[in-house]
Chain A
Amino acid sequence: GQNIDQPTEMTATEGAIVQINCTYQTSGFNGLFWYQQHAGEAPTFLSYNVLDGLEEKGRFSSFLSRSKGYSYLLLKELQMKDSASYLCAVNPTGGYNKLIFGAGTRLAVHP
């Protein structure tokens, strides 16, 4: 079967760093996406990884290890507006139309 696991909820303090993990077991791999979704709003694209390593984009970074079926999203200098759900999604082989999503991690940032 195809499966993506990520923690259900996390809390962190404003100004701190938080790492949201995602592990996956899929029929092949053609890239991994991270999306951010604020309550009542559309999910929005954060990052895409297809090769091993770290991709940095401002305060957000995303890491991928294909051999371990593992990714993480790193958020630095947390702000209150970062309180949202973070969705991990994998593109399996030949499945450009069938992104497999995790259930999302709800992050709460406290003052």
Chain B
Amino acid sequence: ETGVTQTPRHLVMGMTNKKSLKCEQHLGHNAMYWYKQSAKKPLELMFVYNFKEQTENNSVPSRFSPECPNSSHLFLHLHTLQPEDSALYLCASREGTRTNEKLFFGSGTQLSVL
């Protein structure tokens, strides 16, 4: 248990569906992240929020829309996805911005787009 909880664990959706991924952290951290993990590829940073403000958007297509209503919750809204978007989506949190601070990851949402 890392203190970061993601739901759902698995999601299958069609290309015309709209769905949302949820992440919650109970660690009192101030920074939250979305990563994409595809098979045999490095983790790709998607979005970063610091103190609820988006500070990074790593050239992510607009069909992915993040939302951070407070420092404990993070959402990723999905619409009109493509089959190549199938991957494991990981949420992470970090206490602050010091370079030696580690990320705490959730177990991820395994997404399949049909």
Contacts and interface: CB of A to CB of B under 8 A. Distances in A.
B100 A44 contact: no
Given A42-B105, A96-B97, A99-B43, 10 more contacts: A8-B40, A31-B99, A33-B103, A42-B106, A43-B103, A44-B2, A45-B103, A50-B100, A89-B43, A96-B99
A42 B45 contact: no
A101 B42 contact: yes
A4 interface: yes
How many residues of B sit at the interface, in one of the four size bands?
A: 20 to 34
B40 A33 contact: no
How many residues of A sit at the interface, in one of the four size bands?
A: 20 to 34
Contact of B102 (A30, A48, A98): A48
Interface string A19-40: 0000000000011010100001
Contacts of B56: 97-98
A100 B106 CA distance: 18
Nearest to B33: A97
Interface string A89-111: 10100001111111110000000
Nearest to B97: A96
Contacts of A43: 90, 103, 105
A78 interface: no
Contacts of B97: 96-97
Given A98-B56, A103-B40, A48 B100 contact: yes
A102 B42 contact: yes
Given A42-B4, A42-B105, A91 B99 contact: yes
B55 A97 contact: yes
A103 B41 contact: yes
Given A99-B45, A99-B103, A42 B40 contact: no
A66 to B, nearest CB: 14
Contacts of A30: 99
A87 B96 CA distance: 22
Contact of A45 (B40, B102, B107): B102
